[in-house]
Amino acid sequence: MEHYVESAVRINATSKKVWEILDDFGGVENFSFGVEQSPIIGEKSSGLGAKQHCVFYDKKSVYEEIIEYEENKSFKVVLSELSMPMRTMFAGFSVEKVTDTTCEVSMYMDFVVKLGPLGALMGMVIMRPMMKGLQKKLLSGLAYYSFTGKTIGSELPPSEELAQALVS
């Protein structure tokens, strides 16, 4: 059974700036809490076919490859070698200009949990809410980094600081 979760935030930064941050594919460690390093694999650092290896502070890791790409707009990645029991997992981002100084960023995830019917149930009860929370944290980190230029590290800043980066 395929599961889908999507989240969006409005950020106090231009769509151009946010896209430049997202398009620096190996720079995910700057805004994604928990990602200790995200080196590029190969010669491509952005665009279709770019690959990275995200290593988390707990030493788990995941490989990501851009499989769809629309410059200045959106991209989709396939995730592989996950520590979670996933048969398949995809994630995507899109950036839309709202005003000259703000934008909206959307993130979605498509995934299929291993383990047949038990996995489908796990996906609904455990994985979807967990992925939704992960998306919100990741997008908040992106907003904070876009607004302040300060990297996230292993934990998100206090909510008062995050709030400044988000459009209310």
User: What's the CATH code of the domain at 114?
Assistant: 3.30.530.20
pLDDT in tens, the chain (168 residues): 999 999 999 999 999 999 999 999 999 999 998 999 999 999 999 999 999 999 999 999 999 999 999 999 999 999 999 888 899 999 999 999 999 999 999 999 999 999 999 988 999 999 999 999 999 999 999 999 999 999 998 999 999 999 999 998
**Report field, pTM of the whole predicted structure over 0.85:** yes
Tokens 């490989």: give the residue: 63
What is residue 79's predicted lDDT score, i.e. its pLDDT?
A: 97
The predicted structure's pLDDT at residue 101? 97
Residue 91: the pLDDT is 98
Residue 83, pLDDT score: 85
| DSSP3 helix / strand / coil % (the chain, rounded to 5) | 35, 35, 30
Q: Specify whether the CB–CB gap between 25 and 46 falls below 8 A.
A: yes
User: Using an 8 Å Cβ cutoff, are 38 and 54 in contact?
Assistant: yes
3-class SS of residue 69: strand
For residue 134, the enclosing domain spans 2-165
Question: In the prediction, which pLDDT does 110 show?
Answer: 97
From the list 147, 127, 125, 124, the residue with the least C-alpha distance to 135 is: 127
Domain count, the chain: 1
The whole-number pLDDT of residue 149 equals 96
Q: Given this model, what pLDDT does residue 168 score? A: 81
